Amino acid sequence: MLVSLFCTYLSFFYYCYIKQTMAIISFQEIVLDNNQKFHYTVHPFEMKNSLGKVIALLQEYVITTSDTIVDPSYYKLYKTKEGYWYEIEAENSKPQKIIRQLKSAINSIEKGFENNGGQN
């Protein structure tokens, strides 16, 4: 009982810590080399197997172009807590060059965020 209570507390603290970190880095702007501007938000995403059991907790990056009237495209990218990008097959129809540039830009922003002690 005590171990179960401790595990519940630990998992709750872990989930809240992830949510707090994600809230801090939300609504960032990305400017690529060709001056394309994007905005992104970060949300927790639970990947489930066919039985509905959670197999991974990922960060979902929803990226939109800054001018959604002219170019209403969006991208969804997924990242593990270890920092690895995860590909979901349904999202592979987007141009790979832009996706690579967006991933690189997000990694740079987050690395700078961590190096500044959480201040951006």
- To the question of pTM greater than 0.85 for the whole model, the response is no
- Give CA–CA dist 36/1, Å, rounded: 54
What separation in angstroms does the CA of 70 have from each of 23, 28, 29, 79, 99?
Answer: 29, 20, 18, 28, 19
Q: What tens digit of pLDDT does each residue of 47-96 get?
A: 888 898 999 899 999 988 877 666 677 888 999 989 999 887 665 567 88
DSSP states of 52-67 as a string? Answer: S-EEEEEEEEEEEES-
- For the cut 50, the answer to whether the pLDDT of residue 102 exceeds it is yes
The confidence band for 30, taking pLDDT boundaries of 50, 70 and 90, is confident
Q: What tens digit of pLDDT does each residue of 8-18 get?
A: 444 544 444 44
